[in-house]
Amino acid sequence: MADTKLIVTSSDSNNQLVQKTIPNINPDTDNNALKSFGQKITALTDSTLTKVERVDKTNISAAVAKLTPSITLDSTVVPSTLTRSFCLNGTNLPIDIETDGELSIVNNDNTTWCTTIRLGADTGVYRLYIGIVNDQTATNATAGHSVIVESKETDRYYAGRFELFTVLEG
């Protein structure tokens, strides 16, 4: 089961961004309900809601995560649900996108857009963003399409953590 948390970002009366992270979110909760939850949390303050994100994290053990030269992100149409299961056979990382949008992949430093995850280390954190405001270098993906993420490393054992960020509002 994915480890899911909600990040609620708001702007206070001084226009300072305030972030509230709420752990132990039920990963099966409907995204609209999570969005509403974030709105109601913010309604208890004088701040203005700016963003609600859910983060699904899963750990991949080295023993099962031998990656071949490429991994494939398979997206299929699954209305109103977001499947967070990850195939751990090292060759497929299936992600079901609940709505059309942009599937963007950023580097480990969370700053550089790219369409390739380069496995430069045995451990690391790679983030997959769905719903980020369009960037010219982001990969557009619509439900039902697949995005191929190429690995430049071959025959490596990889252990790491994948985090799926879904922007619910903002």
Partner 1 sequence: MADTITTKKSLQLTLSYTDGSTGSIIIDNPKDSVAAADIDDLNDCIVNNNILLGNSNSTCTGITQAESIENEKTKIELSE
Min CB(124)–partner 1 separation in Å = 27
Tokens 């203005």 — which residue? Answer: 48
Residues in touch with partner 1 (CB under 8 A):
1, 12, 18, 20, 22, 24-26, 28-30, 33-34, 36-37, 40-41, 43-47
Cβ pair 42, 49 in contact under 8 A: yes
Which C-beta is closer to partner 1: that of 29 or that of 83? 29
Cβ pair 77, 55 in contact under 8 A: no
Which C-beta is closer to partner 1: that of 45 or that of 108? 45
Cβ pair 38, 52 in contact under 8 A: yes
Which C-beta is closer to partner 1: that of 44 or that of 133? 44
Min CB(45)–partner 1 separation in Å = 6
SS3 66: strand
Min CB(24)–partner 1 separation in Å = 5
Min CB(94)–partner 1 separation in Å = 23
Min CB(6)–partner 1 separation in Å = 8
Which C-beta is closer to partner 1: that of 37 or that of 113? 37
Which C-beta is closer to partner 1: that of 17 or that of 64? 17
Tell me how far CA of residue 51 lies from CA of 8, 35, 36, in angstroms. 6, 9, 12
Give 129-156 as a 3 state SS string: EECCCCCCCCCEECCCCEEEEECCCCCE
